[in-house]
Amino acid sequence: EWLSNKIAAGEVVERPSSVVKELVENAIDAGSTSIEVFLEEAGLTSIQVTDNGGGMDEEDALKSFSRHATSKLSKEQDLFRIRTLGFRGEALASIASVSKVNLKTSDGEHSGVEVELDGGHVVSMKPTAFRRGTDITVSQLFFNTPARLKYLKTIQTELGHSIDYMNRLALGYPEIAFKLVHNGGTLLQTNGRGNVQQVIAAIYGVQNAKKMITFSGESHDYKVHGFASLPEITRASKNYMSIFVNGRFVKHYLVQKAIVHAYHTYLPIERYPIVVMYIEGDPYLTDVNVHPAKLQIRLSKEQELLPLIEEAIRKAIRTAIH
């Protein structure tokens, strides 16, 4: 099992930001309203994620590090109606196999527990006083897979990936207060009051946030809404278009294309708007189980969704400009 964890680690845990992503997603799935992430050296030295979610009892804390130990799928058919972010039950096992982990957790009913793992092996487990929630610290990532370590780029590049993830999660969950601290300096802080425009201001700046307009639209199977920048605000990268399908951040080429189309002639060539878009639809229409990183998604009824998106944004821009 240890070997398969290490193999799985290759696809689930590509870099520090993948660890940040998995840990923060777990915190979200646990119902947290406040999630803090502390990185040292972009996470290569350590990654600490603290949440105030439901936590775990002693048994679940131990189980959480074994492969396919997910508490999130009860029936087989649940796979097709996924609401939580995690469901494969392999992230913690994979992460633990290539790092040193310290976990403190409590479900608020039983006393807390502290577990320490080294390369996936439990080295200690003891009761500890802990409030409801979870605190997990992953250090010396890839210490036993030097090849992986070698392929990682500079600290700044790795940090950039983690910032991107945190920004997306903050946009996807405006009702959760997020904090990202790197080497003691705060890089992102949101207040969790559910106001997307405040999150946009925290990420893209107050001035840009003022130049975002709202859009919305509804068809038989889909609902879309969100914020789109006035055409005067453009970026050289598509990465400023954040798309969430049922709360999950996705990369979807055709949706991005529909957004760009909506701006029509207003957008200079090779320039892209800042957009935050929420798409809601029956989970049956969205096949999330495509890749372990869960970024790609297949959407049914694109011929219904894409025009809906284009129309909604185009209408909002026209109204704002004229």
Please report, as ranges, the residues that interact with ligand ADP according to CB under 6 A: 22, 26-27, 29-30, 51, 53-56, 60, 64, 69-72, 86-93, 134
Between 13 and 199, whose beta carbon lies closer to ligand ADP? 13
**What does 167 interact with, of Mg ion, ligand ADP, none (CB < 5 to 8 A by kind)?**
none
**What does 114 interact with, of ligand ADP, Mg ion, none (CB < 5 to 8 A by kind)?**
none
| C-beta of residue 61 within 8 angstroms of C-beta of residue 127 | no
Report the chain's terminal Cα–Cα distance, integer Å. 63
Between 85 and 285, whose beta carbon lies closer to Mg ion? 85
DSSP string across 153-205: --HHHHHHHHHHHHHHHHHH-TTSEEEEEETTEEEEE---SS-HHHHHHHHH-
Token readout for 202 is: 């925290």
| C-beta of residue 310 within 8 angstroms of C-beta of residue 228 | no
**What is the nearest approach in angstroms of ligand ADP to the Cβ of residue 120?**
12
**What is the nearest approach in angstroms of Mg ion to the Cβ of residue 8?**
13
Nearest to 230 by CA among 195, 275, 174, 196: 275
For 14, 113, 118, 133, 261, the CA distances from 130, given in Å and listed in that order, are: 31, 8, 22, 8, 52
Taking CB under 5 A as the rule, does residue 86 contact Mg ion? Answer: yes
Between 47 and 212, whose beta carbon lies closer to Mg ion? 47
**What is the nearest approach in angstroms of ligand ADP to the Cβ of residue 67?**
8
**What does 56 interact with, of ligand ADP, Mg ion, none (CB < 5 to 8 A by kind)?**
ligand ADP
**What is the nearest approach in angstroms of Mg ion to the Cβ of residue 290?**
17
Sole binder of Mg ion in the list 18, 26, 46, 99 (CB under 5 A): 26
Sole binder of Mg ion in the list 91, 136, 212, 299 (CB under 5 A): 91
Kindly provide the residue ranges of all beta strands, DSSP E only, lying in the chain, ordered along the sequence.
Answer: 34-40, 46-51, 100-106, 112-118, 121-128, 133-139, 177-182, 185-189, 212-218, 222-229, 241-245, 248-250, 275-281, 286-287, 298-299
**What is the nearest approach in angstroms of ligand ADP to the Cβ of residue 96?**
9
The stretch near Mg ion (CB under 5 A) out of 90-98, 227-235, 282-290, 310-318 is 90-98
**What does 241 interact with, of Mg ion, ligand ADP, none (CB < 5 to 8 A by kind)?**
none
Nearest to 31 by CA among 71, 64, 58, 69: 71
**What is the nearest approach in angstroms of ligand ADP to the Cβ of residue 28?**
9
Applying CB under 5 A, which residues contact Mg ion? 26, 86, 91
